[in-house]
Amino acid sequence: MDPLDDLFAAMRVQSALYARLETSAPWGLDFAGGAAARFGLVVHGSCHLTVEGREPFQLAAGDCYVLVQGARYILQDDPRSPTLPCSEVVKDHVGGTVRVGGGGEPASVITGWFTFDKAGARPLVELLPPVLHARIDQGRAELLPSLLQLLNIETETPGLGSSLIVSRLADIVFVQALRAYTIADADSGWLAALSDKRIGPALKAVHAEPARGWTIGALARIAGMSRSAFAARFKGGVGEPPLAYLTRWRMFKAGSLLRQSDLAIGQISGQVGYASEAAFNKAFKRLMGTTPAQYRRGKIPMVSAADLTLPLPTMP
C-alpha cells in the first residue's frame, strides 16, 4: 500500500466548494481560519500568500498551495496592499467568479474549501506540514480547473447521483492538489522520511502490512541499518519512535474499519495486528480516547458547511 493512498483512503473527503478570483492590483483578501482544508491554484499572473505566523511568499501561474489545518491566510498582489475579509467578498459568489481590485495588473486564482471526515483526516493533518506549496505541471494545471467546472455544474443543477459525483470529484481535486507537493519537495517531516533511502522503505513496509508483528530489528534490516541508528533516524525524520508510529497507524486503520465496515471488533483487531481483542481494546482506548464499541456506536463528527468561515450553501 502506498502510504499516501493509505492516508487518502482514511480521509474520506465529503464535499468541495470553490470560487474563482479575477483580481487586479491593488487587491487583497483575508481568509479567516476555519475547520476545512483550503487550496488555491494560480491560473494567471502572480500574487503573494501570507499564512498566519509566516513570512509572505510569491506565487506565480501554475503554483498551488494547500492548507490542511485551516490556518488563517491572506492573498494579495503585494504584501503592502490593503485587504478585505474574504467572507464579505466571496459570500454571494461561491462556485462562481469574484472580481476584486483597483484595475491594475491582473491575476486569476481558483480557491477551494474541502469538507472531510475529521477522524479520518486526523493522520493526514498530523503528518503533513501546515502549508504545502508546489508548482504543478501543465497537464495538472489544466486538469484542476476542469474538475472544478464539473463540480460547479453538479452543484448548480443537481441531478440523479449528484451527491455521489460531487464527493468523488472532491476526492480527485484534493488528491491532485496534494500530489503537486511531491515527496521530493519536502525537506523535513513525514514526506521527507518517505523519500529517505533508509527510512522510506521501512515506512512503506509498515503501511503495506500493518498487521505484521514488526520489531525494531525487522524494520532496521529493511533499512539496512543497525537497530540503534535506525531508531534514531526514524524518530528524527518522522517525529516518533517506529513502534509508536506503527501503533498509531494501526489504530487509525481500525477506526476506518469501524466506521466503514460491519466487521466484528475481534476481526478488526486481527486485521491490525492484535491476536487478543482485549489488548486491542486497551490500545485503541489509550490512543483514541474511547473504546472501539463506543467509537462505532457514536456519531463521527464531520466538518460541515457551518464549520467554514464563509456562509456557504448546503451541498446536495
Please state, in angstroms and rounded to a whole number, the distance separating the CA atoms of residues 215 and 200. 16
Query: By the 8 A CB rule, do 223 and 202 touch?
Result: yes
**Residue 242 and residue 231 in contact, taking contact as beta carbons nearer than 8 Å:** yes
In the sheet where 37-44 sits, what is the strand order? 97-101, 13-24, 106-116, 37-44, 63-67, 132-135
Question: In which residue ranges of the chain is CATH 2.60.120.280 found?
Answer: 3-181
12-23: per-residue pLDDT in tens? 666 667 788 999
Look up cell 489504530; give the residue. Answer: 251
* pTM of model > 0.75: no
Q: How far apart are CA 115 and CA 107, in angstroms?
A: 27
* Domain 3-181 is found in CATH 2.60.120.280: yes
| CATH 1.10.10.60 placement within the chain | 189-297
Highest averaged pLDDT of the listed ranges 8-12, 49-53, 229-233, 255-259 = 229-233
Name the residue type at position 230.
F
Fold classification of 189-297 (topology level): Arc Repressor Mutant, subunit A (1.10.10)
**CB-based contact 18:113 (threshold 8 Å):** yes
pLDDT in tens, 120-156: 666 666 667 778 787 765 555 566 667 766 766 776 6
Q: What is the pLDDT of residues 14-72, one digit of tens each?
A: 666 778 899 999 999 999 988 778 888 888 899 999 998 889 999 998 788 888 777 89
Residue with cell 467572507: 87
